[in-house]
Chain A
Amino acid sequence: MEMIAEVKQWLEEGTVDLFIGYKMAMGHPLPHCFVKEKIEEVDDLIIGTSRYALEKIATHITAAKPDIKIGLLARDCNQRALAVLYIWNQLKPDQIRTVNVNCCPSNLKEHGDCSYLEPETAGFFKQRVGVNNTHRPRDIEKYDQPERLSRWMYEFQKCIKCYGCRNICPVCFCQECSLQHPELVGTGALPPEVPIFHLVRAVHMAGRCIDCGLCEDACPVDIPLRLLYRKVNEIVVNVFNYETGSGADQPPFSILGDQVTLEPKPLQALEN
């Protein structure tokens, strides 16, 4: 296997300090960190069909050890996520090496080594009152305004506020999350404040979402999040002429200063 030989070489020569790939554990392909000290483990490195946000693991490691050099397996979605993470200064391109592997099957590629095929077909009830996960944004636009609201609210009110969509998201990296800020999204009730909870996240996905579909994969109640964020990025393309993940330009919603915080600093200082 060329891939295994290459990864071994990278680790031995110190091109990377660690390599994130998949390894079978208890019958499941799980993300695993391969290191020089346990080089024999690299023989178990697999590509597999499962999909995790490996670049998110890399982001966490880099946050703790900024100078570390990381190698990782990258499908197309991982590569788009990496491009976004470079733009947002979460990772440095010269510290990341990727082994590019085959991607989800799509219209362009019939064969793919990935667990994400197509969303499940929506059942009868969901088709009647909810939003079909396999639809495209323009299919939703066929409904009139009250029906759109009604259908989206049906989907959103199923939310159990597990934060699965945020936790799996490769491009969610804020230290302080608006979704957990009690003044922005009310606490203590299920479903969470809808549609604010989902719209806040949708707005934050503008110019960031790389359409990997992990959020929808992770959602225990099957909310068509990928469809919602697709629409959001469609608007970003139309209004700002910005294609997410394709270039090195700052996204239109970037207002990052040195430190991002939700505290109303200047006002509070005045009051005190």
Chain B
Amino acid sequence: MTIKRITFLQELLAFMGLEGRLHLEWISSAEAQKFVRVITDFTEKIRMLGPNPLSGCNGIANAAELETVGGFGKSQSIQQKRLANSY
């Protein structure tokens, strides 16, 4: 059940654009090496993805900083920053 619920959440986050930031693994207390490997790999993966784009003020300011992406034009990003600052 847990694996299904986590899969559900992973897919929802991927649909939102936050893919790969949720990981589930079963590690027994006797599997120290596996623990080290999983944590190291995941840390490396997160480092590759960069900082959480939603960290900080409501996530909006940071989302606005994605101005180079897709449809976000400059005026939009300025407008959003103003929005974010006013809260």
**For the side of the interface on B, what is the size category?**
20 to 34
- CB <8 Å contact, B60 and A150: no
User: How far is A71 from B80 in the complex, measured between Cα atoms in Å?
Assistant: 49
A140 to B70, CA, bound (A): 12
Cα distance A152–B14 in the bound complex, in angstroms:
12
B69:A147 contact, CB within 8 angstroms: yes
Q: How distant is the Cα of A151 from the Cα of B69 in the complex, in angstroms? A: 10
B60-77: contact bitstring with A at CB < 8 Å (1 yes, 0 no)? 100100100111110010
CB distance from A143 to the nearest CB of B (A): 6
B44 is an interface residue with CB less than 8 A from chain A? no
Q: Report the Cα distance A31→B69, complex, angstroms.
A: 46
Contact B17 A191 (CB under 8 A): no
A148 touches B17 (CB 8 A): yes
Chain B residues, CB < 8 A from A203: 9, 12
**A108-130 with Cβ < 8 A to chain B:** 127-129
CB within 8 Å for A137 and B83 given contacts A146-B53, A150-B72, A193-B58:
no
Contact A202 B12 (CB under 8 A): yes
Q: Is A13 an interface residue (CB 8 A)?
A: no
CA distance A200 to B83 in the complex (A): 23
**Shortest beta-carbon distance from B12 to chain A in Å:** 6
In the complex, what residues of A have CB within 8 A of residue B71's CB? 127-129, 147, 150-151
Kindly list chain B residues whose C-beta atoms are within 8 Å of the C-beta of A141.
15
The answer to whether A239 and B66 touch across the interface, beta carbons within 8 angstroms, is no
Answer whether A194 and B69 are a contact pair too, CB < 8 Å, given A129-B76, A199-B12: no
A238 to B80, CA, bound (A): 36
Q: Taking the complex as formed, is B16 at the interface, i.e. its CB lies under 8 A from any CB of chain A? A: yes
Inter-chain contact B17/A240, CB cutoff 8 Å:
no
Please name the 9 residue pairs, one residue from A and one from B, whose CB atoms are nearest each other, closest first: A149-B17, A148-B17, A147-B70, A153-B63, A128-B71, A150-B66, A129-B71, A235-B11, A145-B17
- Which residues of B are in contact with A by a Cβ distance under 8 Å? 1, 4-5, 7-9, 11-12, 14-19, 53-54, 58-60, 63, 66, 69-73, 76, 80, 83, 87
Give chain A's interface residues, CB within 8 Å of chain B.
127-129, 137, 140-141, 143-154, 157, 189-191, 193-195, 199, 202-203, 206, 228, 231-232, 235-236, 238-240, 252-253
